[in-house]
């Protein structure tokens, strides 16, 4: 079977097409004939050994997100049938409950081979049914970005109708968070450096927008907008993706007793924020690292019930993974960048 892997040495130059033997499922396992995959920011770090010693030794098959159809099952499989369309889950050992070291120890496309293969063999508990209303490419976008946003907004954020959610950017996680917040009846403030992208965010449901390039100190403006939208003293939940460069503004934008969901460190990983605002205003800083199988199932039920469609920016051919990664790195995308497998 065809695979796209990092082989020989850790570098983008060693990202290459390869071949592996066709795998067979063992006890409790299923084999997926893969249909599509999707990219995340983490995939820009993997070829550079960005996750250090925890990473699988080379060669390593790329990407963590995808969807496939079951074409073989091993002994002891009880809840999966041939023909089922499933999404592999990023964390293969996190079925439910709160995270712990073990549950976060086996991530696809990092600690173990990922979704850029024509076939994958996984334990049936490491997969979950894809929403019936989504195409293969749309379903492939869910396991990391979609589930991260769901956990930030729903599981940990506990967003209610009328709440205000502030979303940073217009990438995959941000737009999923916007859509889930609107699904719950919340109001959304969206940030971007592009007026054109902000207009697209409005069309997707954003109630207010801020261009952070023209207003670098956007925290106060976001607070004013939240007061205007809800009468509260700031956003109930902030989807924090920038890290070092944005956390200070997020702490100014969030209401007393609100939550800052820490998801990304795109602007730097060092703490550089007025921590007094956390203490004196009882702000909750909540780290978000994707989610469990139970979270995924709850998310897919909501997607099916609402008819929600993920925002797909562009789809590349299987052989064009390097070009897809370069496009993701450019920041031009609005939503998810995806891969169509050759067998679809």
190-245 per-position pLDDT tens digit: 999 999 999 999 999 999 999 999 999 999 999 999 999 999 999 999 999 987 78
Opening angle at CA 179, ends 174 and 180, nearest 5: 95
Phi, psi of 245 (to 5 degrees): -80, -10
Q: Hey, what are 153's tokens? A: 């907004």
Dist. CA 16–CA 23, nearest whole Å: 20
Give the pLDDT score at 265.
64
Structure tokens that stand for 257 in this block? 């007793």
Helix (H) or strand (E) holding 15: strand 15-19
Instruction: Summarize pLDDT for 100-151 with one digit per residue, the tens.
Output: 999 999 999 999 999 999 999 999 999 999 999 999 999 999 999 999 999 9
In this structure, the number of other CB atoms found within 10 A of the CB of residue 257 comes to 13
Determine how many CB atoms are found less than 10 A away from the CB of residue 100.
10
- Terminal CA-CA length for the chain: 14
Q: What tokens does 94 get?
A: 């996190």
Instruction: Tell me the pTM.
Output: 0.94
- Map tokens 């944005």 to a residue: 246
Cβ neighbour number for residue 13 with a 10 Å cutoff = 11
Question: In whole angstroms, what is the distance from residue 238 CA to residue 248 CA?
Answer: 12
- Which pLDDT score is estimated for 280? 84
Which of 73-77, 87-91, 178-182, 274-278 is least confident?
274-278
Q: Which parts of 48-149 are beta strand (E)?
A: 60-61, 65-73, 85-88, 119-123, 127-129
Where residue 276 falls among pLDDT bands split at 50, 70, 90?
A: confident
Distance (Å) of CA 119 to CA 32, 43, 61, 138, 253: 5, 20, 11, 19, 46
């Amino acid at each position: 079977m065809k695979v796209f892997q990092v082989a020989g040495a850790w570098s983008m130059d060693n990202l290459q097409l390869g071949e592996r033997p066709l795998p067979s499922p063992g006890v409790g396992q299923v084999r997926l004939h893969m249909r599509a995959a999707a990219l995340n920011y983490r995939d820009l770090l993997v070829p550079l050994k960005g996750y250090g010693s925890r990473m699988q030794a080379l060669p390593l098959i790329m990407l963590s997100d995808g969807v496939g159809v079951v074409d073989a099952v091993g002994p002891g499989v009880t809840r999966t049938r041939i023909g089922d369309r499933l999404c592999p889950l990023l964390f293969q050992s996190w079925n439910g409950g709160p995270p712990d070291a073990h549950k976060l120890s086996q991530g696809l496309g990092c600690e173990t081979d990922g979704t850029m293969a024509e076939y994958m063999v996984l334990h049936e508990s490491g997969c979950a049914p894809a929403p019936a209303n989504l195409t293969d490419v749309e379903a492939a976008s869910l396991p990391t970005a979609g589930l991260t946003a769901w956990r930030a907004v729903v599981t940990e954020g506990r967003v209610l109708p009328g709440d205000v959610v502030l979303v940073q950017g217009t990438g995959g996680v941000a737009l999923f968070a916007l859509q889930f917040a609107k699904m719950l009846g919340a109001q959304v403030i969206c940030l971007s450096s592009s007026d054109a992208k902000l207009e697209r965010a409005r069309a997707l449901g954003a109630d207010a927008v801020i261009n952070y390039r023209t207003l670098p100190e956007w925290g106060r403006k976001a607070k004013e907008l939240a007061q205007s939208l809800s009468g509260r003293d700031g956003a109930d939940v902030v989807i924090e993706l920038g890290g070092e460069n944005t956390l200070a503004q997020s702490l100014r934008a969030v209401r007393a007793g609100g939550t800052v969901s820490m998801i990304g460190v795109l602007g730097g990983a060092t703490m550089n924020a007025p921590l007094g605002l956390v203490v004196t205003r009882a702000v909750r800083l909540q780290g978000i690292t994707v989610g469990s199988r139970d979270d995924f199932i709850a998310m897919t039920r909501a997607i099916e019930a609402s008819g929600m469609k993920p925002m797909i920016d562009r789809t590349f051919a299987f052989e064009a993974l390097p070009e897809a990664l370069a496009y993701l790195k450019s920041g031009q995308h609005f939503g998810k960048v995806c891969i169509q497998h050759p067998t679809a």
